[in-house]
Amino acid sequence: MTYHITLTDPMNGTRDREPITFTLPEKLQEPLWWAITDEDARILCQRLEQESSASRTAFIATVSFSGTLKMRLDRPLTAAEVGEIAGIHRLPGREKDCFVRLNTGCFDLEMCRGTAQGVGASKWGLRHFRALQDNIELLPSGNNAIGGFYGPFFTPENGLINPPEHTLVDIEILEEGPVYHHYRMRGAIPDGLLPELRGKRFSIDWKFSWNTPWFQRRYCVDDFSTVINGRSVTNKITVGDEFESGPGKLLFDRFAAYGGTRYRAGDPYAEELVAMVANTVTTSENQSPKFTEFREQLADMASAHWDLYWRMFCRWENVLDEAEIRERLSQVRARAHRRADLTEREWLLTDSPVDVFRRRG
């Protein structure tokens, strides 16, 4: 039987190398097929294992079209064609915890499991990411990652639990072929100070398609409800994609938002946290080896790595006992809240990109 497929853009716009899926009411075993458009162009279609069954077959293809695209499913690829086609392919990994490194046609990216060492280089996620068009590597050192989520777990109220740095993930391959790769991460979030955020697990789906200038993610976290900064938070997380181009290689120095950017310069919380670090190093009676190690590293605070500031008050690190963490972070929160309510930092609204280096304080 010949199957004809019609794709219609409901917005009547232009689609550029977008992944599309379609399902046929028949079991087709071969993993790769050719579809032929009305203009006799060939489109590579990959069978989706997770969405196919004994009575139907789902396919995915990457297409570009305007308005409507018509095509028919033609035939499976020959063995010779499979060896010659262009598509997503693996590359040698660079990091010890690399799960997979891919060339997607648009990106060279490396997905890592993480090592749960509590530092930037131990994060799970994409620890290398380079656009092939401009050849700019956003994470050349591998000391940070794209894809981590933080709030409400990485908050003073919860003892600054950092899921990407404190967790190992398992990664499952759901789909893998020249058109499309689908991976699922699974992990457990370490317990922090808030009882209602303990025992939580998460999964993240990552989807990459051939030559598409973007990729897809979906985050699922066990249900939770808590209060952060005096506001109720129910089943909401913050996702942070971090870039670091290296000393002297600044890539981004502006921030902009659709509809204008509303902001206030400065960061009272960061300033209060730094002040509390200095106070803790000087006044804490803690005698643990871990605290001694941190105090030595923070002897010259001006040159110390920023991560050491929050790590000192992290429940996972056990630098301080839980009671001291709660007491000191409650002071940081209270002082930061008071300063945030003052009127000395005016609200600004601009349609122009904000120079983040000139607006920090």
Instruction: Please write the tens of the pLDDT for every residue from 147-195.
Output: 999 999 999 999 999 999 999 999 999 999 999 999 999 999 999 999 9
What pLDDT sits at residue 246? Answer: 65
What pLDDT sits at residue 60? Answer: 99
- Domain check: are 128 and 197 in the same one? yes
Give the residue, 207 or 299, on which the prediction is more confident.
207
What pLDDT sits at residue 247? Answer: 66
Lowest-confidence segment of 145-154, 166-175, 241-250, 263-272 by average pLDDT: 241-250
What pLDDT sits at residue 356? Answer: 77
Alpha-carbon span 318 to 263, nearest angstrom: 35
Mark which of 234, 251, 268 sits at the end of a domain: 251
Q: What's the predicted TM-score (pTM) here?
A: 0.92
- Domain check: are 95 and 236 in the same one? yes
Query: What is the per-residue DSSP string for 280-307?
Result: HHHH-----HHHHHHHHHTSSTTTS-TH
**Mean pLDDT taken over the chain:** 94
What count of residues does the chain have?
Answer: 361
What pLDDT sits at residue 70? Answer: 96
User: Per-residue pLDDT averaged across 38-62, rounded?
Assistant: 97
Mark which of 31, 52, 84 sits at the end of a domain: 84
Asked if pLDDT for residue 119 goes beyond 70, the answer is yes
User: Per-residue pLDDT averaged across 340-350, rounded?
Assistant: 92
- Domain check: are 109 and 214 in the same one? yes
Lowest-confidence segment of 46-55, 211-220, 302-311 by average pLDDT: 302-311
Give the residue, 224 or 340, on which the prediction is more confident.
224
- Domain check: are 234 and 94 in the same one? yes
- Domain check: are 234 and 97 in the same one? yes
What pLDDT sits at residue 300? Answer: 85
Task: State which of 8-12, 92-96, 262-266, 291-295 shows the largest mean pLDDT.
Answer: 92-96
Mark which of 223, 251, 279 sits at the end of a domain: 251
What pLDDT sits at residue 358? Answer: 63
pLDDT tens digit string along 83-103?
Answer: 999 999 999 999 999 999 999
- Domain check: are 154 and 141 in the same one? yes
Asked if pLDDT for residue 118 goes beyond 90, the answer is yes
Please state, for a pLDDT cut of 90, what percent of the chain lies above it: 84
- Domain check: are 25 and 62 in the same one? yes
- Domain check: are 355 and 280 in the same one? yes
What pLDDT sits at residue 213? Answer: 97
Please state, for a pLDDT cut of 70, what percent of the chain lies above it: 98
Asked if pLDDT for residue 361 goes beyond 60, the answer is no
How open is the CA angle 148-154-158, to the nearest 5 degrees?
150
User: Per-residue pLDDT averaged across 223-237, rounded?
Assistant: 96
Half-sphere exposure of 51 (CA within 13 A, CB side): 14
CB contact burial 279-298 (16+ within 10 A = b; e otherwise) = ebbeebeeeeeebeebbeeb
Give the residue, 357 or 131, on which the prediction is more confident.
131
- Domain check: are 71 and 109 in the same one? no
Q: Show Cβ contacts of residue 101 under 8 Å, excluding neighbours closer than 6 positions.
A: 90, 91, 92, 93, 94, 108, 109, 110, 111, 128
Q: Give the residue numbers spanning the domain of 264.
A: 253-361
How many domains would you assign to the chain? 3
Query: What is the per-residue DSSP string for 190-219?
Result: PP-S-GGGTT-EEEEEEEEETT-S--EEEE
Q: What is the token pair recorded at 49?
A: 């294992």
- Domain check: are 101 and 237 in the same one? yes
- Domain check: are 23 and 70 in the same one? yes
Alpha-carbon span 42 to 101, nearest angstrom: 28
What pLDDT sits at residue 304? Answer: 82
What pLDDT sits at residue 12? Answer: 80
- Domain check: are 72 and 95 in the same one? no
